[in-house]
Amino acid sequence: MKKSEIKFTVTLDDKNLPVNIDWSASDGGVESNSKAIMLSVWDAEAKNTLRIDLWTKEMLVDEMKQFYHQNLLSMADTLERATGEKDAAKALRNFAQEFGERLNLVMKNPLFSAPPKKN
């Protein structure tokens, strides 16, 4: 059985706030620096998601908005690949579009408009 390692190294300041986030992946030979990470881990025993969200002081607010928007789109893609739930993935993409519009990250797109409300 093959093993692969993904490693995060977080440098903290004197107030324990992240100032540097380095990561590497042994399989891809990747070594990089990042301003933010969102890590979600499924705890099968507790049937719960464990999360680590970190960002450095260098992460700009506009970058954080983009980071969230792109994560929503990635989650939709992964949901569809992992479960085959095309309709749920489409709903998540629609939400990501609306979210992006609200944050002025993307232009309005009539293809993603919400269906009219039923009385």
Per-domain residue ranges for the chain?
A: 1-57, 60-104
Contact 75, 102 (CB under 8 A): no
Examine the pLDDT at 80 and tell me if it is beyond 60: yes
**Digit-coded pLDDT (tens) for 43-56:** 999 999 999 999 99
pLDDT tens digit string along 6-58?
Answer: 999 999 999 999 999 999 998 878 899 999 999 999 999 999 999 999 999 99
99: left (phi over 0), alpha (psi -120 to 50) or beta: alpha
H or E stretch covering 52: strand 48-55
Residue 117 pLDDT greater than 70, yes or no: no
Whether 116 has a pLDDT exceeding 60, the answer reads no
What proportion of the chain, given as a percentage, has pLDDT over 70?
92
CB neighbourhood size of 74 (10 A): 11
* Cβ proximity of 97 and 109 under 8 Å: yes
Task: Assign 68 to helix, strand or coil.
Answer: helix
